[in-house]
Amino acid sequence: MKSTLEESLEILSGLGLVLTLQRRAILKFLHEQQGHWTAEAIYGELRPRYGSLSRATVYKTLELLCEAGELQCLRLRKDVMHYDTFTGPHHHFLCEQCGAIIDIPMECPIKASGRIEGHRVDRCIAYFAGVCEACL
């Protein structure tokens, strides 16, 4: 995400999107609580504060923020999607003991080269699984 909430709002605005109360609330929350979130968790956090928030809006807004480049979506678990507020080049480590998701800042050398075996590489989707330092 952009470094400030204001900049993020400008991004959406610049794309011709309406800055509704709901979108502002979600964006504000993600700026304050950076990390790896699920749609359900965000809904659970915001619903009590913004009475009329719906799951559909959360899902739509998160997808929108991904398209706008303000979030990075991750499929680390088979059942649920995570949204990462850190959009710089990095991978992840998933602790299979405590469930922690840890950022691993690194660039994939193959993605950097842009090619593998003649194919054009646009994205490298990767994560490591194991046991984190704290659990060891």
Binding site for a second copy (CB under 8 A): 75, 78, 81, 93, 95-96, 102, 104, 110-111, 116-133, 136
Half-sphere exposure of 107 (CA within 13 A, CB side): 8
Query: Which of the choices a second copy, DNA, none does residue 63 contact, using the CB cut-off of 5 to 8 A by kind?
Result: DNA
Least distance in Å: CB of 122 to a second copy?
Answer: 4
Contact call for residue 18 and DNA (CB under 7 A): yes
Nearer residue to a second copy within complex by CB, 11 or 102: 102
Within residues 23-52, the interface with DNA by CB under 7 A covers 23, 38-40, 50, 52
Neighbours of 111 (CB within 10 A): 16
Here's the x/- map for DNA, 107-126, by CB under 7 A: it reads as --------------------
CA nearest 91: which of 100, 81, 99, 101?
101
- Torsion angles phi and psi, residue 30, rounded to 5: -65, -30
Within residues 50-109, the interface with DNA by CB under 7 A covers 50, 52-57, 59-61, 63, 79-81
Q: Which residue has the tokens 């660039």?
A: 107
Distances (CA, A) of 10 to 15, 27, 50: 9, 11, 22
